[in-house]
Amino acid sequence: MRTILHIVIKEFHQLKRDPKMFGIILIAPVIQLIFLGYAVNMDVEKVPTVVFNQDNSITSREFLNNFNATRYFDFVEYVDNYNDLQTHVDNGTASLGIVIPYDFENDIANNRVANLQAIFDGSDGNKASITAGYLQNIVGDYSINLLKSRMDKSGKFLAPIGQITPEIRAWYNPELSTRVYMIPGIVGLLLSIVTLLLTSLAIVKEREIGTLEQIVVTPIKPTQLIIGKLIPFAILGFVAVIIVLVAMTFIFNLTPRGSIAFLFATTFLYILSTLGLGLFVSTVSKTQQQAMMLAIFVVLLPMVFISGFSFPIENMPTFIQGITYFIPLRYYMTIIRGIILKGVGFYELWFEILMLFVFGVFLLTLSSMRFKKRMD
């Protein structure tokens, strides 16, 4: 026990000597949080729109006003030919072109179907389909209003038509903002980076500078060395989490709805996995550079991509979805979003917690065994 304490003290002394590293651990999370919190915004608002109104009638202008009235569209220019419209879409100065045909007013007045052409910049498919949804909503509302006013004008009394109006309430994130969804995920992301990266460097560093050999001739047992090495990184991981949670509250006004103690308990379970993975990387690498590359490109990036941090797992092919079950971060993402956004607890998250526990114990045991073999 005392031996482990000596190792922990030594590690902290060394961290203290490396103020840059300390800064990275303490300040980077906040900077990352701010960058990701503001930059990662998939909300579609103020779509730059170019309008080619061939009809130039009262009806067409009235119709277009409906677009301008929402915050979703922003008319950048009115043009009078297709070429100009295309230039705008090509240049990216507009991502939507609305074309109103010559007989728009006429068709409507004469009870014919009026066509409306909408040209999307489909290079960002997600954005285009969301924009299309907004557009259809506006067109749909306009059509219903048209129908109603026509009926009123006809003077005929008609029995009210049965109609369904959805009353939409978005729970946990009423404004449906991406930021609210992303920020809790950042906790998981940063925690993974801090613990995995630092651990992966931990042992290989000692090997590289030759001190591991000196450690091996001391009576320190491999298990003691592993525990002594991992405790400081676990503590740093928790420090990073606390920093992000505090920053999240003050910068983005997002306070966890669930229990903080429960959050920390699950975080501990998750750290077991990242420490295990880091230790594994450290035992297979010969140099710190190798360890860094392995940790980032082989472990961290794939883990983040398919953890559901930014891309929804439900949209992935079945095969990839299967793989995500082997990614500890996947479970932690669900847990952390659940606790912070929904305020749920053990009852709802028991499966994820169980999986984290299983993965943590498995990974840590496996890499410790590997490490012991390398040391002997």
Q: State which residue, 39 or 217, has the beta carbon closest to another protein.
A: 217
Smallest distance from another protein to CB 15, Å: 9
How many CB atoms are located within 10 Å of the residue 314 CB? 7
Q: State which residue, 48 or 222, has the beta carbon closest to another protein.
A: 222
Q: State which residue, 23 or 122, has the beta carbon closest to another protein.
A: 23
Cβ(68)–Cβ(210) below 8 Å: no
Q: How far apart are CA 336 and CA 185, in angstroms?
A: 7
Reading the block at residue 115, the tokens are 């066509």
User: Which region holds residue 173: left if phi is over 0, alpha if psi is between -120 and 50, else beta?
Assistant: beta
Smallest distance from another protein to CB 11, Å: 10
- Edge-first strand order for the sheet with 47-53 is 73-79, 47-53, 96-100, 117-120
How many CB atoms are located within 10 Å of the residue 374 CB? 14
Q: State which residue, 56 or 214, has the beta carbon closest to another protein.
A: 214
What residue type is 21 in one-letter code? M
Q: How far apart are CA 268 and CA 265, in angstroms?
A: 5
Smallest distance from another protein to CB 370, Å: 17
Bridge-partner residues for 50, per DSSP? 77, 97
Smallest distance from another protein to CB 201, Å: 13
Smallest distance from another protein to CB 237, Å: 22
Instruction: List contacts with another protein (CB under 8 A).
Output: 2-3, 5-7, 9-10, 13-14, 17-18, 209-211, 213-220, 376
Smallest distance from another protein to CB 202, Å: 13
Q: State which residue, 32 or 224, has the beta carbon closest to another protein.
A: 224
Smallest distance from another protein to CB 376, Å: 6
Q: State which residue, 132 or 215, has the beta carbon closest to another protein.
A: 215
Please report, for residues 29, 120, 151, the alpha-carbon distance to residue 142 in angstroms, rounded to integers and kept in the order given: 47, 21, 14
Exposure pattern of 149-166 as b/e (b: 16+ CB <10 Å)? eeeeeeeeeeeeeeeeee
Q: State which residue, 205 or 342, has the beta carbon closest to another protein.
A: 205
How many CB atoms are located within 10 Å of the residue 126 CB? 9
